[in-house]
Amino acid sequence: MTIATPVRPAVETGDSTPRLGPGRVSEPRGLLRRLPVLVPILGLLLGLLGLNFPWLGVALETERHAVDLRVVAAGMPDSRLISYGSLTAVALVVAATLLVRGRGRATAALAVCGAVMLLLPVLFVLQSAISDFQLVQHINQQNAEMRSITSQLGYSIPRSGPTSVLLYPIGGSTRAIATDLRPGWVMSLLGGLLILAFGLGALARGLGSDRRLRWGALATGVVLGILLGRGAFANYIATSAEQASQAGEYSRATQLFDYAQRLNPLLRFNANFQFGLGRALGASGDSGSPLALYAQAKALGTQNDTVNQLADLQLAAEKAPENPVIVQELISQARKVALISQDRGLMQAIVSQPYGDLPAAHYALGRILYKGGDFDHAIGQFLRTIQLTNDPNVRSSAYTYISLSESSMGRLGDARTHLLTAITLDTEFNNSLARSLAAGLYVSEPRKH
């Protein structure tokens, strides 16, 4: 007896829908298959935007892009060609090339480019806080200049900053940098993260099978360790020097301060380091050196002896006019005294020096001259303030007092023009004085002859 064998119907080729059940399922097609490629493409786009948007905002200045931020490491030569922007651009171009040549496939090399793009913004914050005290000192100086101006405005300008970066609480030098971070920094960080995430699987497989890739990762870790470690070690030595100074071991403290500065010459821009070294020098008998005078002036400030404090600071600045810490302290303290006593002579002495040509100094002198009825010279100081800063709030206030001065001099047409300029610059609606003047609600101070 013959048993008939059932014949399986042939599966048609072409575009027919495959049956359900066991067997191979066809790969996704069309847009669904290409969706993962959008992740690195979005990362490349964010990286490109990160280069075109500023990374850092410094008070009273134009915001800085990544190409304007040099890579600075403790004890390493400084090159204007090597910036965070140039390195990010190289990683961005290589990543785009790999993505095109690989036809959208994830590769270990693409993940490495993403890791570089991710690490550069993080490295900028860490390196600036650990080693680049020149940048930190400049930011602190500009913030002090801004606070000096805003304290005289008569109205507040809201300013707030983050308390953490990547969930890590910030303080000290790190806070000085992190508070002024701008959207470009975040875009570069996120762009690198997306590209790294896309190629992370390929990178993990490559590290397991490719010896060269493992050695490359090890070499990268060693380089990063050297870049960060030297600055961190210099800071540790400086802290040990301060402890030795407090314990009365002044000779040892001086040696440690010198060693720390040789490890990281940029410590000369650190106010705490300069104060500690000056205190150790003064205690060991070198009371006439600029840093010893600076430390002595700081001590006199805590005793409210402003006369001798300014005398010591002025002598220290004459001996070391290139020391930014000493000069900034002199300007800051002299400005406070001049504003309290309305001493135009003291402020004029500051702005006449090359190191005193700062917006806060000219603004303070302009306000003193305005209150004293010297409207013509006050206008000159406010115009110089406008030339030295790009901050719209400061420029708006300066134009307001130019308008008030012109109004007091009878130049009503010019006064109206400059008042409108002040209101135009006040895009955040902080300058209540200018708006009250425009509405006719403010009565200017009487002229003083």
* CATH code, 448: 1.25.40.10
DSSP code string of 378-389: HHHHHHHHHHH-
pLDDT at 219: 87
In a domain, 58, yes or no: yes
CB atoms within 10 A of CB 214: 13
3-state class (DSSP) for residue 443: coil
In a domain, 165, yes or no: no
Mean pLDDT computed over 393-408: 94
| pLDDT tens, position by position, 201-233 | 888 888 888 888 888 888 888 888 888 899 999
| Average pLDDT value over all residues in the chain | 85
Rounded distance, CA 179 to CA 159, Å? Answer: 10
Examine the domain organization and report whether 49 and 193 are in the same domain. Answer: yes
| pLDDT tens, position by position, 158-209 | 765 555 555 555 656 677 788 889 999 999 999 999 999 999 988 888 888 8
Q: Does position 383 have pLDDT exceeding 80, yes or no?
A: yes
Rounded distance, CA 285 to CA 308, Å? Answer: 20
CB atoms within 10 A of CB 1: 2
Rounded distance, CA 347 to CA 374, Å? Answer: 14
Q: Does position 392 have pLDDT exceeding 50, yes or no?
A: yes
Q: Which domain holds residue 425?
A: 342-449
Mean pLDDT computed over 129-135: 90
What's the 3-state SS for 269-298? HCHHHHHHHHHHHHHCCCCCCHHHHHHHHH
- Percentage with pLDDT > 90 across the chain: 44
In a domain, 256, yes or no: no
Examine the domain organization and report whether 346 and 205 are in the same domain. Answer: no
In a domain, 276, yes or no: no
Q: What phi and psi, each to the nearest 5 degrees, are found at residue 304?
A: 60, 25
Mean pLDDT computed over 10-18: 50
pLDDT at 186: 95
Q: 400 versus 35: which is more confidently predicted?
A: 400
Q: Does position 338 have pLDDT exceeding 70, yes or no?
A: yes
Mean pLDDT computed over 319-325: 88
| pLDDT tens, position by position, 346-381 | 888 888 888 788 899 899 999 999 999 999 999 999
Q: Which run of H or of E encompasses 266? A: none
- Confidence band of 31 (pLDDT split at 50, 70, 90): very low
Mean pLDDT computed over 81-109: 92
In a domain, 434, yes or no: yes
Q: Scanning the structure block, which residue is given the tokens 């000369």?
A: 268
How many domains does the structure of the chain reveal? Answer: 2
Query: Which letter, b or e, does each residue of 286-309 get, where b requires 16 or more Cβ atoms within 10 Å of its Cβ?
Result: eeebbbbbbbbbbbbbeeeebeeb
Q: Does position 1 have pLDDT exceeding 50, yes or no?
A: no
What's the 3-state SS for 15-78? CCCCCCCCCCCCCCCCHHHHHHHHHHHHHHHHHHHHHHCCCECCCCCCCECHHHCECCCCCCCC
| pLDDT tens, position by position, 244-287 | 888 888 889 999 999 999 999 999 899 889 999 999 988 888 88
DSSP code string of 155-195: S-------SEETTEE--HHHHHHHTTB-HHHHHHHHHHHHH
Examine the domain organization and report whether 203 and 346 are in the same domain. Answer: no
CB atoms within 10 A of CB 269: 20
Structure-block tokens of residue 314: 């002025």
